[in-house]
Amino acid sequence: MGCLGVFLTILSGLILMVLFVEYTGLMIGILFAIITLGIILYNKASTKQKEVEIKLEEEKAKKKVWEDGNKRKYNIPQDAKLVRYYKGNPNINKGYIKFYTWKDEKNINFVDSEFNIDIGKVQMQLDDIKYYYIIGDIYNEMSIEGGGNGGSSLGGAVVGGLVAGGAGAVIGSRKKNDPIKTINKKVDERKTIVVIKENNKVFNMEFEGKTYDVLLELLPEKERDYVKIISTKENNEDWLYKQIEKLASLKNEGILTEEEFQGKKKALLEKI
């Protein structure tokens, strides 16, 4: 504050003191009026805030009634999961929406969480789901914010971040109200891909990465690696049984003795 500012502050204080001494009654009246006005304004603001809160609660209650009604309409169970769908299904004319999803005996079901009547309920037969898998990564991205006209250098912020560690350093600029910060942000670029074969047509549905965990809970047997293992095992078993049939034919033809046949058969069965 400069000399002029100090002078004006002192002068204002002196004027108020003189007015209070000379016009005590008037000043008390003014103060009372100011206090009364403040109380009125405070009460008015509090009343308005309460009205807003009541309105929000009413809207929240109405939304819950509306949601519960739609959940009953579509038979959505209490344990239905929320997943975010991106694109890929030709039967869904909208993308990047949230679905309630759950599994029954024959289908996996999807209902738009906003209950859009244009989408309604989408069902996919479990037999049409070939497999699902996840792609992409989660990683931490560091960004530098702040600085402004404070005068701190970007290099100083980077050095400070390295010294302070991954949590991010706050480097004070010359203006304390404008610090430079290093911010760590988690970036999730994963996508869950569900491969569908419907009416002899194959298409991929894309969901957010978190959907993978939901599907592991609902459809563990459709996870791609598990499907590969089961498929390989089934193929191996078919091959082994065919080999045993060939051995039996060789035994019947007298090429293998009973002892040789049983030994080779036992060795093959141990591979199952």
| DSSP per-residue letters across 92-139 | ----SEEEEEEE-SSEEEEEETT--TTT-EEEEEGGGEEEEEEE--EE
Q: Is the pLDDT assigned to residue 67 strictly greater than 50?
A: yes
Paired strand residues for 223: 132
Instruction: Tell which residue, 156, 133, 138, 269, has the closest CA to residue 206.
Output: 133
pLDDT of residue 143: 81
Decide which of 27 and 84 is more confident.
Answer: 84
Give the global pTM.
Answer: 0.58
- Measure the CA–CA gap between 157 and 271, rounded to whole angstroms: 62
Tokens 């929406």 belong to 97
Instruction: Tell which residue, 210, 217, 204, 187, has the closest CA to residue 99.
Output: 210
pLDDT of residue 177: 61
* Most confident residue range from 63-67, 158-162, 163-167: 63-67
Q: Is the pLDDT assigned to residue 119 strictly greater than 50?
A: yes
Give the tens place of pLDDT for each residue, 202-255: 999 999 999 999 999 899 999 998 888 777 766 666 667 777 787 788 778 787
Residue 42 tokens, joined: 């405070």
Class of domain 70-136+192-222: mainly beta
Question: Helix, strand, coil shares of the chain as percentages rounded to 5?
Answer: 50, 25, 25
Question: CA angle 46-48-49, nearest 5°?
Answer: 65
Residues 132, 89, 107, 235: is their CA dihedral positive or negative? negative
pLDDT of residue 164: 45
Residue 227 tokens, joined: 């499907």
Per-chain mean pLDDT for the chain: 80
Q: What is each CA distance from 191 to 78, 90, 201, 205, 260, in whole angstroms?
A: 26, 18, 22, 10, 54
Average pLDDT over residues 8-21: 71
